[in-house]
Amino acid sequence: MKKIEAIVRPEKYEQVKDALCEIDVKGITVYQVMGCGHQKGRLENVRGVEVDLEMNRKIKFEIVVSTEEWAEKTIEAIQKTACTGEIGDGKIFVYDLDNVIKIRTGERGIKAI
Ligand SMILES: Nc1ncnc2c1ncn2[C@@H]1O[C@H](COP(=O)(O)OP(=O)(O)OP(=O)(O)O)[C@@H](O)[C@H]1O
Ligand SMILES: [Mg+2]
């Protein structure tokens, strides 16, 4: 099982959500987050106060899928829809997942996704 975390631009939320719906993922968790990437070191001086202008609002998706193939499908759907080609488009992090437990039934593993 794989867990995919994707940080995307807030304005891409609807498109990414729709693309994930289309490939029929079994569940999605979404967060509003703040973050920065490579440009974080670029501090600007605003009225004598150093402000990190690169801590931006982003949307984080979490999706758990059963196989590597589903992970690739999910990654492709996100990258295709979230990409503008400009800095700040976000990132996709992929993890191996040990287990999933469905609370209602007690099912574990792939059955619980
Ligand atoms: N190494 C990282 N660790 C954790 N979160 C990250 C990392 N890189 C990026 N993020 C998250 O992704 C968001 C978008 O990152 P961003 O696209 O700016 O990455 P980048 O490496 O700076 O790429 P670019 O040069 O295209 O801007 C950040 O605001 C942050 O929330
Ligand atoms: Mg950046």
Per-residue pLDDT reduced to its tens digit, 46-89: 566 666 566 889 999 999 999 999 999 999 999 999 999 999 99
Kindly report the average pLDDT of the chain as a whole number.
91
Which residues are 34's β-sheet partners? 57
Distance 40 CA to ligand 2 centre (A): 7
CA distance 72 to 102: 24
**b/e map 39-70, b = 16+ CB within 10 Å:** eeeeeeeeeeeeeeebebebbbbebbbbeeeb
Determine which helix (DSSP H) or strand (DSSP E) holds 39, and give its type and residue range: none
Residues with CB under 6 A from ligand 1: 7, 35-39, 56, 58, 87-91
Q: Domain range for residue 65? A: 2-112
Q: How confident is the model at residue 113 (pLDDT cuts 50, 70, 90)?
A: very high
- CATH number of the domain residue 23 falls in: 3.30.70.120
51 versus 10: which is more confidently predicted? Answer: 10
Question: Is residue 105 within 8 Å of 11, Cβ to Cβ?
Answer: no
Structure tokens at 20: 């994930």
Total of domains in the chain: 1
Residue 36 CA, closest ligand 1 atom number: 29
Distance 101 CA to ligand 1 centre (A): 31
- Among protein residues, the one whose CA lies closest to atom 13 of ligand 1: 90
- Amino acid code (one letter) for 30: V
pLDDT of 45 > 60? The answer is no
The pTM for the full model equals 0.91
Residue 55 CA, closest ligand 1 atom number: 29
